[in-house]
Amino acid sequence: MTQVLILLGAPGAGKGTQAARLCAARSLAHISTGDLFRENLKKETPLGKRAKGFMDAGQLVPDDLVLEMLFDRVAKPDCQRGYLLDGFPRTIPQAEALEKRLGKPARVTVLSLVVPEQVLIDRLTGRRTCKACNHIQHMLFSPPKVAGRCDKCGGELVQRSDDSLEVVKKRLDVYRAQTQPLEGFYSSRKLLLEIDGNRPEEQVFRDLERRAFGGEAA
Ligand code: AMP
């Protein structure tokens, strides 16, 4: 049976960081729709060109574009055993489309990372991403050893264009209006597990792993 983990949470809640750790620990494919869009932007594909305006404005990319890209991705062989969705679904229609596509046989767990709003703003505006390896650092919480350079590979650290204060505020508004209702959607299906994401990364990781997998061996 395919195991599907869904990681919910506002922008800056730590989904990307925790998703990477969970996937490494549990051999799951990590599917980040935000990363998929950024790859398409970088390669200047038709999809990337259509998504760019929405992303730059802090808005959601229309559901039909997201769904086509996502369903293509999860059809790949590395997703057969299981995968983790990071940044998807973001709207009720996306969640309904996923539910329809998965049908009964999948084992779905929804983990929601809960973090206060001011903490989200501080985290996002200080975030820097390595252009070469996507490693994430923070100007206050994990400052680079060499200014502007990734601690892991030495690549250039850049601020995502949508991590500026103005766009961050817009993204949080969009999150509240369009994505937060998913908590009710999954809670009514008894699939929602809430996790306090305002703690050190290691503690959040251990809690997520325990809640998602119980005592199951990796
Ligand atoms: P993220 O890296 O998850 O914060 O995503 C960055 C941007 O990509 C978002 O602000 C949206 O514009 C777009 N995006 C990512 N995932 C989705 C999704 N599931 N639905 C709509 N837009 C998305």
Quick check: is 43 catalytic? no
Task: Check residue 217 and give its pLDDT.
Answer: 74
Ligand 1 interacting residues, C-beta cut-off 6 A: 11, 33-34, 37, 54-55, 58-61, 66, 87-88, 90, 94, 162, 171
CA of 146 to the centre of ligand 1 (A): 30
Pick the atom of ligand 1 nearest to 62's CA: 21
| Residue ranges in 59-103 assigned as alpha helix (H) | 63-74, 92-102
Pick the atom of ligand 1 nearest to 162's CA: 10
Residues 55-106 pLDDT 10s? 999 999 999 999 999 999 999 999 988 999 999 999 999 999 999 998 777 8
CA of 37 to the centre of ligand 1 (A): 8
- Domains, the chain, ranges and CATH? 3-28+81-213 (3.40.50.300)
Task: Check residue 133 and give its pLDDT.
Answer: 93
Task: Check residue 2 and give its pLDDT.
Answer: 83
* Ligand 1, atom 1: closest residue by C-alpha: 34
Task: Check residue 1 and give its pLDDT.
Answer: 79
Quick check: is 206 catalytic? no
Between CA 188 and CA 197, with CA 194 as vertex, the angle to 5 degrees is 150
Q: In what order do the strands lie in the sheet with 157-158?
A: 136-138, 127-130, 157-158
Distance CA 171, CA 175 (A): 6
CA of 12 to the centre of ligand 1 (A): 12
Residues 131-177 pLDDT 10s? 999 888 999 999 999 999 999 999 999 998 899 999 999 999 999 99
Quick check: is 21 catalytic? no
Compute the Cα dihedral for 71, 77, 81, 84 and give only its sign.
negative
Distance CA 156, CA 104 (A): 45
Q: Please state, in angstroms and as integers, the Cα–Cα distance from residue 197 to each residue in 34, 74, 114, 139, 177, following that order.
A: 20, 27, 5, 19, 20
pTM (predicted TM-score): 0.89
82-86 and 3-9: which strand pairing?
parallel
Q: What is the mean pLDDT of residues 102-130?
A: 92
CA of 87 to the centre of ligand 1 (A): 6
